[in-house]
Amino acid sequence: MEEKERQTQALEAKAQQLLEEKEAESRTRTYTGPMGTAVTVLLCIWTVFQLYFSTVGPISAINLRAVHCIFLLAFTFLLYPTWKTERRARALPPVWDMALIVLSVLTFGYLILNYTRIAQTGGRVSQLELVIAGAALLLAFEAARRASGNLAILAGIFLAYNWFGQFLPGRLGHNGFTLKRVLSTQFWGTQGLLSTGIGVSATYIFLFVVFGAFLKYSGFSKFINDFSLTLVGQTPGGPAKVAVLASALMGMINGSAIANVATTGTITIPLMKRTGYKKEFAGAVEAVASTGGQFCPPIMGAVGFVMAEFLNLSYTHVMLAAIVPAFLYYLGLLFAVHFEARRLGLSGLSKENIPDAMQVLREQGHLVIPLVVLIALMFLGYTPLYAAVIAIAATVAASWLRKDTRMTWDKIVAACVEGARGAVSVGVCCVIIGVIIGTVTLTSLGLNMGYLILSVVENTNIYVTGFLVMIMSTILGMGVPGVAAYVIVQAVAVPVLIKVGVLGISAHMFCLIYACLSNITPPVAMSSYVAAGIAGSNQTKTGLLSVRLGLVGFLIPFFFLDNPVLLIGADPAATLAGSLWAFFTASIGTVALVGGLEGWFLRKSGWLERAVLIAVAPLMLYPGSLTDGIGFAALAAVLVFQWVTRRPAASSSGAA
């Protein structure tokens, strides 16, 4: 028992070490004494401010975004060290960071006081106001450098394009812009630092990150893990299936694949390894499961609300459209761990290690009330922001139904602090994304890039265009949190797909899925690398295996490009029967694909059987009577052959 505890502690220490390298939140400063108390109080004040003014408080959108920027920049300079080698534990922040905080308050405070006047004059600004704009831009880049280095570099490239794009030939070139025009757009307009990105951070992201923190401190994470064990713990590969279910449920709430790996992975990965899974496989399962939560209904890590605003549709419409892609993604992952368990001869957990289902529901079932409240309010027509605030209150109230889960004042404060701190890095990403959006808007880069892609695709082939957009979406999403990645990608890639005839919701869902999957796509597979650190596995092997396990997610979007029947409610011409049949055949195709990749179906599969199973997948995923018929016939041939030869194969395998 002591040896197991030492192994668990070693794994957790290794995970923490990797997180310090990969995850921004773990690299933050900690303050002692009065300064530590002051930071806690300020984080709580920020939380209360956001909860009030994001819902019922009387404040304009620009002022809310500007104040949110002040909080984000101030906490970035307070919490994130200037250099990686800087000492983390401190009594006071460095003098230069205090100066940056004051400058942040002054620049954005000046904007709050003068924005209306400047807007009424048609955007005319003085030399002083250009200097203020330049200072704000530098502050945003410095904050992004500390909290998200990769994105700061990308934003710097986009900013430079405003001036150097005039030297580029062809469609990517432009006539050039003055410094005044660029600074005015980036700071004094609504398409720069104060664009959609920061608007998303100030509303959806902040509230749902705080909601996730409250759920954590109420004991919801433990409930999810225990309940998942009761469902699939005793089946072959039970611990891996628990990881899939738990990570999916938690990932759709917190919206951060990396954070989800760091929290649920410290429990699920060691459990999978002890069951008999290889360490690379255990890490890859956790990474893939956590990544899918970002597009998994009903919450979709808050990105669904953002998509609904871009499309000017109800959130219910977006949520329904995401059901089938998310289901197929997790269906493929569940069968992957099942087939791997059968191939390795693994069993599930013993009955004595499985909690009693009724006892779990009696003792912890009340913790699901906040999710029920959230979903019910949204279906009743309330805004997601209002529903989120009520759900946070419901979390505290539900926790008080039993003494063991009761959230005390200390836990409520801790949830506010953790939620606010967790929102800083994502929020800073959203601030600097404004530079990208401002550049795309000012230079028409999105349209030009779209025309460039279309010019290299003969007859505007929808699948070749989709392939190029997939590459672009994956690259733009690398190293960026899910919601932030989607905001970037939709500005550049969605217009390209719409231009070749893809429906709006199909184009947005296509780009969202690939932006999220960049978390498991080498070379910047952040989720896979964090999972590898916890598992003690090779990062490259874990990243490549993650791509294989998540391959269904990489394929599905291509099948709803020109036939959105797989997106419920997206195709007005689709009948209910047609949608259900497409869903059924796509599920069969998903299982066949996984069986071919894993080399197991009814038994161990030979190379020819695997090739047929893999070939069946696209036939079944593509909605069409002819392809379905061929797919069923090929799959039936494999099933009959494996069934007839099952016993000899099993006995010979056992002899080996």
The CA angle 412-414-419, to the nearest 5 degrees, is 95
Query: What are 178-237's pLDDT values in tens digits?
Result: 888 899 888 888 888 888 778 878 887 788 888 888 888 888 877 877 777 787 777 777
Nearest CA to 397 out of 214, 167, 607 is that of 214
For 636-653, write each residue's pLDDT tens digit. 999 999 888 876 444 443
Alpha carbon 502 to chain centroid distance? 24
Query: What does each C-alpha distance from 548 to 13, 286, 287 come to in angstroms?
Result: 28, 13, 12
- Which pLDDT belongs to residue 327? 92
The residue among 571 and 497 whose pLDDT is bigger is 497
Question: 254: pLDDT confidence band, cut at 50, 70 and 90?
Answer: low
Q: What are phi and psi of 31, to 5 degrees?
A: -110, 145
Tell me how far the alpha carbon of residue 193 is from its chain's centroid: 22
Task: Give pLDDT tens digits for 272-314.
Answer: 887 788 888 888 998 898 888 888 887 776 777 788 888 888 8
Q: How confident is the model at residue 25 (pLDDT cuts 50, 70, 90)?
A: very low
DSSP characters over 287-346: HHHHHHGGG-TTTGGGHHHHHHHHHT--HHHHHHHHHHHHHHHHHHHHHHHHHHHHHHT-
Report the candidate in 619, 655, 656 with the shortest Cα–Cα distance to residue 637: 619
Judged by average pLDDT, the poorest of 259-273, 323-337, 526-540 is 259-273
Average pLDDT over residues 515-533: 79
Note the pLDDT tens digit of each residue in 400-428: 988 888 899 999 999 999 889 888 887 88
Q: Which residues of 398-430 are buried (b: 16+ CB within 10 A; e: fewer)?
A: bbeeeeebebeeebbbbbbbbbbbbbbbbbbbb
* Higher-confidence position of 473 and 326: 326
Overall size of the chain counted in residues: 656
Q: Percent of the chain, pLDDT > 70?
A: 89
CB 50 within 8 A of CB 206: yes
Rounded CA-CA distance 362/595 in Å is: 38
Q: How far apart are CA 650 and CA 599, in angstroms?
A: 14
Give the whole-angstrom CA distance, residue 278 versus residue 66.
49
| Separation between Cα atoms, residue 258 and residue 18, nearest integer Å | 11
Sign of CA dihedral 332, 335, 340, 346: positive
What are the beta bridge partners of residue 600? Answer: 604
Angle at 345 (CA atoms; ends 342, 349), nearest 5 degrees: 90
pLDDT at residue 591 is higher than 70: yes
